[in-house]
Structure formats: C-alpha cells, structure tokens
Amino acid sequence: QVQLVESGGGLVQAGGSLRLACTASGRTFSMYTMGWFRQAPGKEREVVAAINYSGRRTYYADSATGRFTISRDNAKNTVLLQMNSLKPEDTAVYYCAVDSRHSYSSTWYPPSGYDYWGQGTQVTVSS
C-alpha cells in the first residue's frame, strides 16, 4: 500500500523557518516527479514547488521563489521543503504528492496531475 507521510509543520513567527519532510512507502518513487502543494481555508490547492525524478530540475511558484527550497533523497524515498522567511500568507495545510503516471519526466503538472497524496501538515505563520 502506497503511503506518503508529511512531517515538520507547526507554528512559527513571521520571518522564521520550517523544514517539511515527506517520506513515501509502499513502492519506490525515484522515477517520478514529487511536489509540495498547499491549501489555505477557502482557497484552491496550489503548487508550491516540484522536483523531477533526478532532483536536477525544480519548479517554484512565484510565492516560493527565493524563500523555499525543495530537495529529494531517492535512497530514502524522501522529499524535503525548506521554508525560510515565512510570511503569514504562507499559512496553509501543506501536502506532498507524487506523479506516478509519468516516468522520468520533467514536465510540471497542476495538482490534478498527481495521483498519490499525503494527509497534509499544518503550517501556521503568526505576524
């Protein structure tokens, strides 16, 4: 059974940092793009960052560029999201996801393109 488990969320003051981790189990995901998404109350789920199968290519939403860094460790089936200079508008539930329908791809898909999802971890940034 495939499972994605996020960790590392919490409450932080504006300007602070958090590191989110997502560990996959049940199969290997080293062939697939993995991504981090977030959803704030009353808003649609949006991409934050994505990383291709090798880790050599990354994508960031404008809101994350320069502040967040995505990385992966295929040996550990883990993807990380380092978030610095956090702002109150970063408050949301953060989800990791895998696009297992496209092997060895560097094409970036919207949330609908990802087929395995974690349960989410809450990030709250206070002003």
* pLDDT tens, residue by residue, 23-61: 999 888 999 999 999 999 999 999 999 999 999 999 999
* pLDDT at residue 1, rounded to an integer: 80
* pLDDT at residue 8, rounded to an integer: 97
For residue 18, name the pLDDT band (cuts at 50, 70, 90).
very high
DSSP state of 113: G
- Cα separation, 96 vs 37, whole angstroms: 6
- Cα separation, 15 vs 72, whole angstroms: 24
* pLDDT at residue 28, rounded to an integer: 84
How much of the chain exceeds pLDDT 70, in percent? 100
Nearest to 95 by CA among 14, 8, 17: 8
- Cα separation, 80 vs 101, whole angstroms: 21
- Cα separation, 65 vs 122, whole angstroms: 20
> Token digits for 67?
């502040």
